[in-house]
Structure formats: C-alpha cells, structure tokens
Amino acid sequence: MNHWVIYLDNNSNKKGFIKDFQQGRTPIELQYFKQKTGRLFSHFTLEKLIDEEDKHDIKIISSFGQSLKTMSSGEQKRALLHYLLNERPDYIILDNPFDNLDISFQENLKTILENHSKHISFIQLASRKEDTLSFINHYGSIIKNNFQVIENPLSAEIQIPESFTTITVPQSGIDFINLPNMLINFKDVSISYGEKKILNSINWTVNKGDFWQLSGTNGSGKSTILSMIFGDNPKAYGQNIHLFGSKKGSGESVWDIKKKIGYYAPAMTDKFSGRHSIENMLISGLNDSVGLYVKPTAFQQRIIKQWLALLDLSDIKNTFFNALSTGKQRLVMTARAMVKQPPLLILDEPTAGMDDDSAALLVALVNKFAEETDTAIIFVSHRKEKGLKPKQTFYLTPHETGSTGSIK
C-alpha cells in the first residue's frame, strides 16, 4: 500500500491542498490517488458532522450512542475514524490526527491505523515530524502552495534568534504589591458535575517563581482546574482554594484575579480579528485590552520596543497581526501575556498545531522568561515538548471517584 506523510509548516496552504486533492487536482507524484475514493479525517469533518447533528437533531455516528459535541476530543476522533473506516474508502487523509490527544489516545489511534494500513492507504498531514506513523513509506512537504517529494524526513537544526541570548526580558514597570509567596493553593478540592466526579481531593501549591507543567489524559480535569483559577467557575466557591493570599469567594472580583495573571490559549487568537499591528498587540498586553484604546505612555512604548527587539520583530512591528503566520501569531500572543510580568502566567496548550520550528521558538521564549523573572508559570500540554524545562509536573490521573493529582 502507498502511505504518505506530508509535512507542513505554519506557512503551508493546508486548506488549499486538501480542497485541490478532493477535487482531483493532485500533484503528479500523487496521481495514484486521483481515481480512488477518499475521505478526510480532520477537525473540518468533525465540525461539519457536529453541525449536521445539531441542525437535524440526529446522531450521525449513532453506534456510539451519544452526540459528537458531548464527547471528549479523543472520543470524537476515535468515533470519526471508525465512521470513515466503515465507509471502506481507498484512502483517508489524516489531518494532524494527534493534536490535542493525550498519550494513551494517541497510542490507541496509532494501533487502529496500523491495523488498517494493509488494505487502506493513508495520507498523513503532519506539523510535527515526531508524529510520523511507523508504516509510512513515502515522504513529502508543502512549502506555502508547493508540494515536493523529500527523501529525508529529519528536520534541520532549529535556529533560535541571537536576541534570545543577548537581550534580557524587559521590566514592565508594573508593581504587584503585597503578594504572598504562595500564589495558588488547592486543599482537598473535590468537584463533581451531577453524578460525574471530576476531581478528587486535589492538593496543589504554586509559589512565586515556580515553573509547572500541568498534564493528564483527556477529560482528567485540567480545564476545570484552570477555570477555578482564571475563570469564574462557580464550583470553586465553597472549596478550600486560595488565590494570591485570599480565599476564593471572600469578596475579590474576577477582575482582581485576572489582572494578576497572564493567560494565553490558541482559541484567543480569533478574538483579534481587527487590523492591529504587532506593536499595538504587545502594548495591549500591558492594559489587558483586546485593542489599543488608550495612547501608550513613552515608558510603555520603550518597553515594547525592547520586546520587539527580543522577539526579532522590530523590522515588521507595523505588520498587521492577522497577516502573520500561525507560528508568529502564537509567539506574539505568548509574549503579550508576558509583557506586564504578571505574578502568574498560564499557557494552555500554546503549541497545539504548531510546526517543529515555531514550537521550539515558543519553548525557548518560555524557558527564558522562567529563568529571568519570578513569575510562576503553569504550562498545560498533552505533549512533552522537546527542550521545555519545567521544574515540576502536576499530573492528573482519572478514576471513577474523580481525578487525583500527583507531582512528578
């Protein structure tokens, strides 16, 4: 069987490639698939099926007994794969199949794919070379709009900008006063939604300058923990949770908490659809605003000038944010969460969907920020990022009675 992996970077026109492929406009090297029947395993397909289920109040993947939108990411992908395999196509395009999946779900998916690789061809689109399926026998890449065959799938050495070693993290000039050393404290925290138990007696302390990775399987409660720190999850009230020296629910506002936290998750990028320059995006991080509504002070402009130099983006500071590649957008958004040097920085799956080079650059920035500031960092990821240097990992393990936490 012909099995391909096609490597993508954050400038690749993936949507265009998929559309052309499905309409029979295949590169010469992939003409084998032109007269074959194929299916697409992608979040695009999942979104379409979820929309159809909602619109017509039906369960398209009915054998699983529940609607797609109520499933976890792993369950959705497993259900979609079974659905597509049952249609018996000649090939399936796998669009970054392991994104946002924990290790156990990844291994389960790999086993299913390998078992079917003897009679179905797979075309894997991959942003990370480490995700390459073991049975792949042909290699290619897409650079912008151009497909090319490659012989060696190994990546070149990743270049980190010289500025990362020559320029220190700029001081924000913002003082967070009267903060205790213990920023976050969960003591015997247990959470349930109806009869479903999510967390069971969680004990976790985050102090100034800590660098944690928060990890666990899909559905283990990572999002629940974050929502009790950064969000307004009502389940946090009545629990023994202390944030920045005050017990949760003792009169502090959500804003009082959020102004002490720098936060970034990839979904936030969609909020910035306006025509904001890179420079203004970074300045807005000092004011916790989506846009730039107040004229920045000379001091703020000087700080951001230093950040632009650190990120090696000074020459394109006036470029619109939404014109940047995915990798550069993620780098800018991560830096935006850092610029005020908050007591706590939360990065929620910041490298999901990024190519190897872009992820390595973001990891290098996070490590630098951890080394040069006393900001506590919580880095949430299913993936063990190469080069990331957390001091400790807080790992959630699911049980019928709710997930328990352990320090690794």
Residue 99 is part of a domain; what is its CATH number?
3.40.50.300
Task: For residues 385-402, give the mean pLDDT.
Answer: 95
245 and 217 inside one domain = yes
The CA-based dihedral angle spanning residues 277, 278, 284, 289, taken in that order and rounded to the nearest 10 degrees: 60
> Does the residue 158 lie in any domain?
no
Task: Say yes or no to pLDDT of 27 above 70.
Answer: yes
Q: How many domains does the chain have?
A: 2
DSSP single-letter state for residue 320: B
Distance CA 264, CA 283 (A): 15
155 falls within a domain: no
What pLDDT shows up at residue 289?
A: 67
- Identify whether residues 115 and 228 lie together within a single domain: no
- Indicate whether 155 pLDDT > 70: no
Helix (H, G, I), strand (E, B) or coil at 144: coil
- Same-domain check for residues 47 and 124: yes
Q: CA 49 to CA 77: how far, in whole Å? A: 12
376 in Cβ contact with 211 (< 8 Å)? yes
| 143 and 273 co-located in one domain | no
Residues 272 and 343 reside in one and the same domain: yes
Q: Rg of the Cα trace of the chain?
A: 23
For the range 220-224, what are the long-range contacts, defined as Cβ-Cβ under 8 Å and sequence gap of 24 or more? Answer: 220/102, 220/396, 220/397, 220/398, 220/403, 221/191, 221/396, 221/398, 221/402, 221/403, 222/380, 222/396, 224/191, 224/198, 224/199
Assess whether pLDDT exceeds 70 at residue 156. no
Q: What is the pLDDT of residues 215-251, one digit of tens each?
A: 998 889 998 999 999 877 888 988 999 999 999 888 7
Residue 252 is predicted with a pLDDT of 78
Residues 122-151 have a mean pLDDT of 92
Q: What is the mean pLDDT of the chain?
A: 90
The model's pTM: 0.85
Are residues 145 and 186 located together in one domain of the fold? no
**Domain membership flag for residue 399:** yes
Classify residue 156: in a domain, yes or no.
Answer: no
Contacts of residue 165, defined as CB under 8 A and 6 or more positions apart, other chains included, come to: none
Among 123, 149, 175, residue at a domain's last position: 149
Please give the C-alpha separations between residue 374 and each of 183, 371, 380, in angstroms, as whole numbers.
12, 8, 19
137 and 173: one domain? no
- Yes or no: say if 331 and 161 are a contact pair by the CB < 8 Å rule: no
Report whether pLDDT(19) > 80.
yes
Q: Give the per-residue pLDDT at 139.
A: 95
**pLDDT of the residue at 69:** 75
* 244 and 134 assigned to the same domain: no
Range of the domain at 201: 163-407
In a domain, 271, yes or no: yes
